[in-house]
Amino acid sequence: MVTQPIDEDAPSFLTFLKAGNALLQLRLEDQEGGCLLAFSNPLRAGDYASEAAPEQSFEYFCSSPKEVVLVVQHFVEYAGVTHVALDRCPRCNVFSTIRAASLNSAAKVIQA
């Protein structure tokens, strides 16, 4: 299988849900710190928003892999985020997380 490399500066690689000056995150019962929600496309982000928080308005904050690194680092440092959940389904209680500190390069963001 031949795969094309992903440009680290490609816009709209991951989508976050933005409310005011904050990005949507969860508090995890079994782990210390917050969990930043990231989505592989705006449709998945919109589905999550409409199911999990239908009364709230969100904007889409789309980022390149390089920008994702900066966003995650900022939220680790200033908001106590310890994990990132990718494509969290609003209809399920089970989901996977990635340690936020491990997303310290664009290559690792793409790999995740």
Assess contact for 14 and 61: CB atoms under 8 A.
no
The pTM score is 0.88
Instruction: Tell me: pLDDT of 40 over 70.
Output: yes
Q: Which residues contact 35 (CB under 8 A, 6 or more apart)?
A: 25, 26, 27, 28, 81, 82, 83, 84, 85, 97
User: For 2-12, what is each residue's pLDDT tens digit?
Assistant: 467 778 888 88
> What distances in angstroms separate CA 61 from CA 16, 68, 112, one per listed residue?
5, 10, 19
Residues of the chain above pLDDT 70, percent: 97
pLDDT band for 33, please (50, 70, 90 cuts).
confident
User: For 94-112, what is each residue's pLDDT tens digit?
Assistant: 888 999 999 999 999 999 8
Distance CA 48, CA 39 (A): 9
CB atoms within 10 A of CB 40: 13
Distance CA 46, CA 43 (A): 5
